[in-house]
């Protein structure tokens, strides 16, 4: 699974196709949810631009507002609903026409409800229907009726579409390598919203990365719901990484997300052997108790998971590991919850994304189990997990003090233009005084302090 990331956080005024006017219809595109949605929005931007639309950063100037939505948890959907309420109010007040569209995972799930109960939505397009957007936009404009395409595909990978990287920092880019998921974890709506798993031809991935290098990008994150399942003929994920590493030796390579049940030694050896494949692996465990993992249908036990962590740390010493945790899954007892706390103590992750279980319609858990852990208990357990994990992350970060890391500068720090921020190979955010450094450069930074989320340092020499 992929993660919600802060969107539009570091907007530079770039030479991008924003505020293109010339009488073209202007589209404002807003992205919710995970990195895959950010990557999809770049495809959408490319499709729309190609068919003559302009892209604007100002919703008030837009003729078309498209929300690229997420359905992973109830609160992700709530956020979009509130936004839609607001947009509909604006639409009523407007003199000119405003087309409102819902794209992505909510589109897929809620197509009927969105159109019937939540009128004033003009367009609904699922994650595999983005090539059809120009036609859908034209249809709704001509007929005044809602236009909809939520057909899922077994083939679509948008492999031939060159993404328009609307909100990129120019240093680091997402490259989608596969779509969909066949794992059917009991809690997860993704297989229903994004459909079956399919991989993009590896040559198109290499080409896209090569182009990014030519454009000055320094880092890519390869995206897929479960990258370990990547396969194009004989090329599996480890082989793809190996080839990409050799073809683009100056490019830092990351990926998200890998499934613990399919993470092979072959892949770990690629991390170890290829300098530009980052020493960071996200291995979402979800829970610290094997019976819960079985109910979640994750396909591994805590023993096999711990064995994997040990292998990763043996094969790639110094590798940084992060995870995802869900609290309050169906039937979770207090003792099972404590097993999650014990696992955190044992593995000592550098970072964790932590969530309360949110029942999602159509999933195995929704059909077979009762969502029986009271909300306040889920919340209390989540708080315990977060508090423990922050103290572990803080201790891990404190152990970095004095060390020197190679940091790729991504831009200004959020607090001050006198400071830069960037990430270590191990994916830790570092803030340091600007000195002579600029975005896109590497700096060797000595760590001088930290919080649980960020390292503070001082550049000691160019990398």
- Which DSSP state fits 18? B
- The smaller minimum CB distance to ligand 5AD, of residues 100 and 188, is found at 188
Q: Which stretch binds ligand 5AD (CB under 6 A): 114-122, 357-365, 396-404, 407-415?
A: 357-365
Residue 187 binds ligand 5AD, judged by CB under 6 A: yes
- Of 28, 192, 300, 355, the one binding ligand 5AD (CB under 6 A) is 355
Residue 392 main-chain phi, psi, to 5 deg: -65, -45
Distance, in Å, from the CA atom of 450 to the CA atom of 314, rounded to the nearest integer, reads 27
For the CB of residue 393, give the shortest distance to ligand SF4 in the complex, in Å.
Answer: 22
Distance CA 59, CA 158 (A): 27
One of 183, 199, 322, 396 touching ligand SF4 (CB under 6 A): 183
Q: What are the start-end ranges of the E strands in 79-146?
A: 99-104, 123-125
3-state SS of 391-446 is HHHHHHHHCCCCCEEEEEEEEECCCCCCEEEEECCCCCEEEEECCCCCCCCEEEEE
In the complex with ligand 5AD, the residue whose CB is nearer, 128 or 324, is 324
**Could you say which residues in the range 8-67 bind ligand 5AD, by CB under 6 A?**
none
End-to-end CA distance of the chain: 33
Cis peptide before 257 (omega within 30 of 0): yes
225 contacts which partner out of ligand SF4, ligand 5AD, none, CB within 5 to 8 A by kind?
ligand SF4
Binds 358, which of ligand 5AD, ligand SF4, none (CB < 5 to 8 A, cut-off by type)?
ligand 5AD
Question: CA-to-CA distance for 19 and 55, rounded, in angstroms?
Answer: 6
SS3 28: strand
Among 46, 171, 185, 285, binds ligand SF4 (CB under 6 A): 185
Residue 248 has a CB neighbour count (10 Å cut-off) of: 18
Q: Tell me how far, at minimum, the Cβ of 201 lies from ligand SF4, in Å.
A: 22
* Site membership for ligand 5AD, residue 343 (CB under 6 A): no
186 binds ligand SF4 (CB under 6 A): no
Examine residue 284 and tell whether it contacts ligand 5AD (CB under 6 A): yes
Question: Per the structure block, which two tokens stand in for 294?
Answer: 């079985």
Report the alpha-carbon distance of residue 250 to residue 252 in Å, rounded.
7
Binder among 131, 360, 405, 421 for ligand 5AD (CB under 6 A):
360
| Residues 6+ positions from 437 with CB-CB distance below 8 Å | 409, 420, 443, 459
| 1 forms part of the interface with ligand SF4 (CB under 6 A) | yes
Give, as ranges, the residues between 207 and 266 that touch ligand SF4 (CB under 6 A). 225-226, 259
DSSP secondary-structure letter at 277?
A: B
Tell me the per-residue interface mask from 371 to 410 with ligand 5AD, x by CB under 6 A, - otherwise. ----------------------------------------
Tell me whether residue 176 or residue 286 sits nearer to ligand 5AD (CB atom). 286
Residues 131, 11, 223, CA angle at the centre, nearest 5°?
A: 45
Binding window for ligand SF4 (CB under 6 A); candidates: 41-49, 56-64, 185-193, 396-404? 185-193
Residues forming the site for ligand SF4 (CB under 6 A): 1, 181, 183-185, 188, 190-191, 225-226, 259
Residues forming the site for ligand 5AD (CB under 6 A): 1, 3, 72-73, 187-188, 284, 286, 324, 326, 355, 357-358, 360
């Amino acid at each position: 699974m992929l993660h919600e990331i802060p969107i539009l956080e570091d907007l530079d005024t770039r030479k991008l196709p924003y505020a293109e006017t010339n009488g073209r219809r202007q589209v404002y595109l807003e992205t919710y949810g995970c990195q895959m949605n950010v990557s999809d929005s770049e495809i959408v931007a490319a499709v729309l631009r190609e068919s003559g639309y302009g892209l604007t950063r100002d919703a008030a100037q837009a003729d078309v507002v498209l929300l690229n939505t997420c359905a992973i948890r109830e609160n992700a959907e709530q956020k979009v609903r509130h936004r839609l309420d607001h947009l509909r109010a604006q639409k009523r007040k407007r003199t000119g026409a405003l087309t409102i569209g819902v794209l992505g995972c909510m589109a897929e799930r809620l197509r009927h409800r969105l159109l019937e109960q939540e009128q004033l939505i003009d367009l609904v397009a699922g994650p595999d229907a983005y090539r059809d957007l120009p036609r859908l936009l034209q249809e709704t404009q001509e007929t005044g009726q809602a236009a909809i395409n939520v057909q899922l595909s077994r083939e679509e990978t948008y492999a031939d579409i060159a993404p328009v990287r609307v909100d990129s920092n120019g240093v680091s880019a997402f490259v989608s390598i596969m779509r969909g998921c066949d794992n059917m974890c009991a809690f997860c709506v993704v297989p229903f919203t994004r459909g079956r798993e399919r991989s993009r031809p590896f040559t198109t991935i290499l080409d896209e990365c090569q182009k990014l290098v030519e454009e000055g990008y320094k880092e890519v994150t390869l995206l897929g719901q479960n990258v370990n399942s990547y396969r194009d003929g004989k090329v599996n994920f480890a082989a793809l990484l190996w080839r990409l590493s050799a073809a683009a030796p100056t490019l830092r390579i990351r990926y998200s997300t890998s499934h613990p049940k399919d993470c092979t030694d072959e892949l770990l050896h690629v991390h170890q052997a290829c300098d530009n494949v980052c020493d960071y692996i996200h291995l979402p465990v979800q829970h610290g108790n094997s019976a819960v993992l079985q109910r979640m249908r994750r396909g591994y036990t805590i023993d096999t998971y711990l064995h994997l962590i040990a292998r990763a740390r043996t094969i790639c010493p110094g590798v940084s590991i992060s995870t995802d945790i869900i609290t309050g899954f169906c039937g979770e007892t207090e003792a099972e919850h404590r097993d999650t706390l014990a696992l955190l103590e044992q593995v000592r992750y550098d970072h964790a994304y932590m969530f309360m279980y949110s029942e999602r319609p159509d999933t195995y858990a929704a059909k077979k189990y009762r969502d029986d852990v009271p909300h306040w208990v889920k919340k209390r357990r989540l708080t315990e997990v977060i508090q423990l994990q922050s103290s572990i992350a803080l201790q891990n970060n404190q152990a970095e003090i004095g060390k020197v890391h190679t940091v790729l500068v991504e831009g200004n720090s959020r607090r001050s233009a006198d400071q830069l921020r960037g990430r270590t190979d191990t994916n830790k955010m570092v803030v340091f005084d600007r000195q002579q450094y600029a975005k896109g450069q590497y700096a060797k930074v000595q760590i001088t302090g930290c919080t649980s989320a960020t390292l503070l340092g001082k550049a000691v020499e160019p990398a």
